[in-house]
Amino acid sequence: MAGASSLNIECQQSRIDFRLKTRYVDEQATDLDDALARLKKYCAEGKAISIALCGNAAEILPELVKRGVRPDMVTDQTSAHDPLNGYLPKGWSWEEYRRRAQTEPAVVVKAAKQSMAEHVEAMLRSRKWACLPSITATTSARWPKRWR
């Protein structure tokens, strides 16, 4: 996008498959190490490539912070405005999430909000790298305090 390489985290493989088919993303990495190696290679070559990674941003963004990865920009496109139906809690499979949304909605909402707080905290930590996170109205910077 706009001459930049990107890492696109998506929690549903079916959505990655669709984005590969429609060329919204160029490639899929097998894991975070593979994704970072590809990004390093393509950036060194001056290539603009979009790489999909199947995973949960609430888990991957804190790991990027821990590793000291310095992105130029961080953005979020989750449906965080709807914790019951739009945000996969950390550590849960998609199947577990959908099942428990039907049987234990309060548990899902609580787990989703906790995960959102960690996700946003990681995005806000990116400011220390001179990277401005793009936090939309659906991902409020106040959430980490409000949901802890």
Domain count along the chain: 2
Residues 51 and 76 in one domain: no
Dump pLDDT digits (tens) for 54-70: 999 889 988 988 898 87
What integer is the mean pLDDT of 129-138? 49
Residues 89 and 148 in one domain: yes
* Residue 102 covered by a domain: yes
pTM above 0.75, yes or no: yes
* Residue 39 covered by a domain: yes
* Residue 65 covered by a domain: no
**Six-digit token pair at 99?**
């099942």
DSSP 72-98: SEEE----TT-TTTS-PPTT--HHHHH
* Residue 61 covered by a domain: no
What integer is the mean pLDDT of 37-63? 93
Residues 99 and 34 in one domain: no
**Six-digit token pair at 49?**
């490539």
Predicted pLDDT of residue 135 = 47
Predicted pLDDT of residue 136 = 47
Predicted pLDDT of residue 69 = 86
Measured CA to CA, the distance from residue 21 to residue 13 in angstroms comes to: 12
Predicted pLDDT of residue 131 = 52
Residue 82: which domain range? Answer: 72-148
| 119 confidence band (pLDDT: 50, 70, 90) | confident
Predicted pLDDT of residue 139 = 45
